[in-house]
Chain A
Amino acid sequence: MLLALTLLTAPAQAWEVLQTENGDPVRFVEMPVAWTYDDSQVPSDIENDAHSSAVADSMDVWGQVEQGGVTFEKDGADANTVYWEPNWEWDDALLAITSTWATDDGEIVGFDTRINGEYANWGVDDENKMDLQNTMTHEIGHALGLDHNPELYEATMYPTASVGDLSKRELEADDGDAIRYLYGKALEEEKPLFACNASGASSSMIGVLSAAATLFLRRRKA
């Protein structure tokens, strides 16, 4: 009874991280993460310099995670680039896409984030537009090694956004947990119970459940 009550009241966790073929998390090994912003192709309908601040602020929010261990350096050596892609070859429905380059053991050695420059409704702080900072905060999560969190709509790493949505600018607790799993010094000696699954959904609660019942666990390939 006590067990059941514990399970029912346990906070939902659903974060996921990118993994190598061997199941190792994909992440930076050294800090700070150098980045630069190329605004040479920024759409003309985005007003003033708000886009530059939006990109910078999207980095800051990840760096502010308590015990998160992530730091950034703008225009540092070998900087990873955030840029506007005016000739969008991806699906029109995609707002942006981030790719990471990593070694076989999961060390991220680079990333780039390309923003859909053909999308016609970008804005910053405009309830009638798709918020750039909202999108970029999500993308930087990917750059740091986080995967989508399809279970928690409020999470920054939830895969979709709507016009006027600002909710992903601020991280949910679940997003912070993911970043602490990857980078947090506080967790270095306290690995999650089922770390090989690299998923918040598979931590202690599922550890208990799996011993008692058949439970489907998602496996995500690199």
Chain B
Amino acid sequence: MIALFAFLLSASAATFSHTTPLPELAANSQAVVQGVVISAETRVKGHDLETHYVIAVEQTLRGATLETVEFTLPGGKFEGKTQRFTGIPLWSEGDEVIYFVPQQAGKDTAQRVLTVDGHQLIDSLERPEFPHTSDELKVVLRK
């Protein structure tokens, strides 16, 4: 079990950013896995919502083999209202995701991803350009 916070993407909802090459993101991850959301529980945190996800790993694309991964992301749905933070996905049970397991937890995990070429991310945790399928991702990761 790994309870961490960043480096993740939805396989069906890839986002694009020019801030970081994918190989760099992969190199800074202890593993890259593809799996299915088996639990998504939203809770109130102060004035905000956060959702704790459990992912059942179906395929390890790179690095250590893991059975499940867990992490918590800001936002969620609670009592008929959805709180969205730009760039942060909201998943439901059954969604297929690809997850870049970070080397270590902490709020600095995305910094090296996001500050490149003198630019600073205005907001969100957007991920770099991403292959369309896990097979394509494998090709990138093997390079």
Contacts and interface: CB of A to CB of B under 8 A. Distances in A.
Contacts, number: 130
Nearest to A20: B82
A220 B121 contact: no
A-side interface mostly: loop
Contact of A148 (B108, B115, B124): B124
Given A99-B48, A219-B13, A222-B84, A94 B18 contact: no
A26 B107 contact: no
A97 B86 contact: yes
Interface centre among B12, B48, B82, B89 (most CB of A within 10 A): B82
Interface string A116-148: 000000000000001000010011001000011
Contact of A150 (B18, B74, B83, B132): B18
B81 A103 contact: yes
> What does DSSP make chain B's interface, helix, strand, loop or mixed?
loop
A174 B10 CA distance: 26
Which of the four size classes fits the interface of chain A?
A: 35 or more
A93 B14 contact: no
Nearest to A149: B16
Contacts of B19: 159-160
Interface in B74-104: 74-75, 80-87, 89-92, 95
Contact of B107 (A92, A130, A148): A92
Interface in B40-96: 47-48, 74-75, 80-87, 89-92, 95
17 contacts: A90-B107, A91-B121, A92-B107, A93-B110, A94-B121, A97-B123, A98-B86, A99-B74, A100-B83, A101-B81, A109-B81, A147-B86, A148-B87, A159-B87, A160-B120, A218-B14, A222-B84
Given A94-B123, A95-B123, A96-B123, 9 more contacts: A91-B111, A92-B111, A93-B114, A95-B121, A112-B47, A160-B121, A161-B122, A168-B122, A221-B90
Interface of A: 18, 20-21, 26, 89-104, 109, 112, 130, 135, 138-139, 142, 147-148, 150-151, 159-163, 168, 216, 218-222
